[in-house]
Amino acid sequence: MGYMHQTFLDGRGIFACRNCHTHFALRGSIESRYTGQFGRAILFTDIVNVRAGDENKRQMTTGVHIVRDIACMRCNKYVGWTYVKAYEPEQKFKEGKFILERELIYDVTREYTRDPVHDWVG
């Protein structure tokens, strides 16, 4: 959807695409963690370098939401989704925030001694 310049984040705890290492978010913008439909997921308040797709109405464990899938802007791999509208009042706080699937991202600033897939960043 148009040309976007790639953004680079600074600081400790930068989450990036596991495929192409494009930065997505800082650890400071983590809000909470969940188990999504495909495994572990993290809710972020601010995200960069992603492109959002079309809106879908989806039934999730927490209720019905309107979401848009997001993909890495460089390699076009699916990485998560963003909440456009939440129907349950308790879920309203998620609107405008982003979920990234834990399996598809990793922390580039951290030195890994073991396989990053099994390394959980606290």
Partner 1 sequence: MTSPRDSANRLAVDTRNEGPSGRRRSASAESRSPLSSGSSVNGASSNGNGVKPDAADNGNGSLLRRYPGLEQEAQRICLRDSQFDEEQVVRLLLQELHDRGFTDTFNLLQRESGFTLENEPIAQFRNSILAGEWAKVEDALSTIGIRTREDMNAALFLVKRQQFLELLEARKLKHALLILQNQLSTLTTDIQQLHRLSSLLMCPSAEDLRTAAYWDGSGGRSRFLVLESLQGYISPGTMVPVHRMETLFGQALAYQCEVCKYHVRPANQGLYVDHTCPTSVFPQELQFNLKGHQDEVWYVAFSPDGRYLASGSRDKTCIIWSMDDFSIAHRLTGHEDEVAYIAWSPNSKYIVSASSDRTLRLWDVEAGANLQLFTGHDETVTSCKWLGTNDRFISGGLDHKIIIWNTNGAIIKQISSPRVHDLAVSADCSLLLVADEKTDIHAYDLATLTFMYSLNEPTEVMSMALSADARHCITGLRNGELHMWDLDARARVREFSGHAQGQYVIRCTFAGLDDRLVATGSEDGLLFVWNRNTGQLLARLRGHTKTINVCTWSDQAAALATASDDKTICIWPAFHGAPSHRSDPKAGPADSNEPEEISDDEEEEEEEDDDDDKSMGSAARSSAASLDMAF
Cβ 59 to partner 1 shortest distance, Å = 28
Q: Is 3 in the site for partner 1 (CB under 8 A)?
A: yes
Q: Does 4 bind partner 1 (CB under 8 A)?
A: yes
User: Out of 64, 74, 86, 89, which residue is the one contacting partner 1 (CB under 8 A)?
Assistant: 74
For 104, half-sphere exposure in the C-beta direction (CA atoms, 13 angstrom radius) is: 20
Residues written for the chain: 122
Please state the closest distance from residue 73 (CB atom) to partner 1, in A.
10
User: How far apart are alpha carbons 93 and 61 in whole angstroms?
Assistant: 16
CA dihedral 84, 45, 24, 66 (to 10 degrees): -10
- Check residue 1 for interaction with partner 1 (CB under 8 A): yes
CB of 61 to partner 1, least distance (A): 31
Sign of CA dihedral 24, 28, 32, 34: positive
Report if residue 6 touches partner 1, rule: CB under 8 A: yes
Which residues of this chain interact with partner 1, rule CB under 8 A? 1-8, 74
